[in-house]
């Protein structure tokens, strides 16, 4: 199974850039299996309908209700029907800037699974929490994944908050240590094996080393995924 290479465009790009991006990846990425590009919801249909899109498309967020009076929100069913196969849930920017709690994210996780989406569920400690990362991650996992029965379509993304968009990447030793801890929590609590990707300042320079680690099942890339040339280099380094 290929390692997963996941792009997170965040709130960037416009419609005029989509065709060129898809075209570049189509031409330059040899094996597209396991390549997932998560885009703002308004772009999902355009990206997934593009004939040159041979990678998987993901949303960056979804609401937990199916429909109703939730002005401005977008349901899991809606992003699924627009062409998304994956959805990012619990990104640290959602947790920190929009106050999303573990309980709230657990509802989104169930909604995503119910809609047939494959969740990419993010966990990670802040700089202040670095010394107690174990208890922080354990709580995020236990509360975030409560009542989940089928983990087969779930991807866990470990993104230390202090490494996101800062250029401060975790050391390979730290990544190995934390991934193996996360793995053990899932095994103990839920008796399952999960795929764990690393995110936080992944670049064309450090991706090879990170992706070579046995503990790492892929990477979640923010800034460096905006440039199709850089993103392709990261994909090709696996």
Which residues make up the interface to ligand PGA (CB under 6 A)? Answer: 8, 159, 164-165, 199-202, 220-224
The first and second tokens of residue 144, run together, are 């975030």
Among the options 91, 93, 100, 125, which is catalytic? 91
77 vs 219 by CB, closer to ligand PGA = 219
Residue 159 among the catalytic residues: yes
Rounded to a whole number of angstroms, the distance between the first and last alpha carbons of the chain is: 11
146 vs 172 by CB, closer to ligand PGA = 172
44 vs 210 by CB, closer to ligand PGA = 210
Minimum CB distance to ligand PGA, residue 222 (Å): 2
Minimum CB distance to ligand PGA, residue 227 (Å): 12
The first and second tokens of residue 22, run together, are 């898809």
Residue 91 among the catalytic residues: yes
Q: What is the dihedral of CA 99, 225, 208, 167, to 10 degrees?
A: -50
Smallest CA-to-CA distance from 164 within 95, 93, 237, 216 is with: 93
Minimum CB distance to ligand PGA, residue 163 (Å): 6
77 vs 216 by CB, closer to ligand PGA = 216
Minimum CB distance to ligand PGA, residue 135 (Å): 23
User: Residues near 108 by Cβ (< 8 Å), separated by ≥ 6?
Assistant: 62, 63, 64, 76, 89, 90, 100
Identify the DSSP state of 102: H
d(CA 210, CA 222): 15
d(CA 12, CA 14): 7
Could you list the active site residues? 91, 159
């Amino acid at each position: 199974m290929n390692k997963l290479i996941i792009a997170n465009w965040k709130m960037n790009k416009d419609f005029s850039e989509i065709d060129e991006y898809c075209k570049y990846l189509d031409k330059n990425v040899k094996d597209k299996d396991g390549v997932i590009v998560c885009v703002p919801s308004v772009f999902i249909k355009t990206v997934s309908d593009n004939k040159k899109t041979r990678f998987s498309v993901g949303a960056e967020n979804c609401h937990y209700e199916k429909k109703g009076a939730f002005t401005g929100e977008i349901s899991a069913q809606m992003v699924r029907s627009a062409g998304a196969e994956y959805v990012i849930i619990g990104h640290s920017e959602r947790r920190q800037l929009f106050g999303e709690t573990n309980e709230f994210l657990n509802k989104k996780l169930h909604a995503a699974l119910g809609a047939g989406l494959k969740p990419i569920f993010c966990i990670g400690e802040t700089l202040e929490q670095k010394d107690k990362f174990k208890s922080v991650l354990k709580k995020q996992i236990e509360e975030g994944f409560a009542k989940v029965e089928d983990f087969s379509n779930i991807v866990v993304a470990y993104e230390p908050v202090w490494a996101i968009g800062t250029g401060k990447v975790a050391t390979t030793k730290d990544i190995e240590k934390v991934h193996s801890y996360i793995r053990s929590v899932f095994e103990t609590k839920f008796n399952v094996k999960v795929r764990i990707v690393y995110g936080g300042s992944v670049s064309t320079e450090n991706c090879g080393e990170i992706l070579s680690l046995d503990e790492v099942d892929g990477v979640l890339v923010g800034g460096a995924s905006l440039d199709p040339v850089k993103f392709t280099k990261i994909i090709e380094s696996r």
